Amino acid sequence: MLNPSTGEDEIIELVLDVVKKNVTKCCPPVIVGIGVGGTSSEVVKLARTASFRNLEIRNLDKRYRQLEEKILDAINETGIGPQGLGGKTTALACNIEYAPCHMASLPLAVFMSCHSTRRADSKISPP
């Protein structure tokens, strides 16, 4: 639970701290899902939902889309890389889902997906 006056830079640093401490437990490269707002239980669901978003779909809200890009760049600049062995790609995506919340609090949750949550879609048509 953050202070509602928490700034963008503080949120980026908080997410980076979580990623640096935990990403190697998740088989990087990962997809980082971030939940902002709602209640303390809703924010966790938002973070998980964000992690399942298609890699090609960006947030419709310009502010959150820009924050997603900043956080993704910062994560990949850590140099942790695939499997934590070093490299440029620590995360494939950073997605944020948000909900309204009480003005006296700012719930935030970070979820990192492992390889088991990656998926692909295909359609098999008869010849």
Q: What pairs with residue 95 in β-bridges?
A: 33
pTM: 0.88
Number of C-alpha atoms within 13 angstroms, CB side, residue 70?
Answer: 13
Taking only the tens place, the pLDDT of each residue in 17-76 is 999 999 988 888 999 999 999 999 999 999 999 999 988 899 999 999 999 999 999 999
Q: What pairs with residue 101 in β-bridges?
A: none
The structure tokens listed for 125 are: 């048509």
The structure tokens listed for 121 are: 């879609």
CB 31 within 8 A of CB 113: yes
Helices (H), ranges, 25-118: 40-51, 62-76
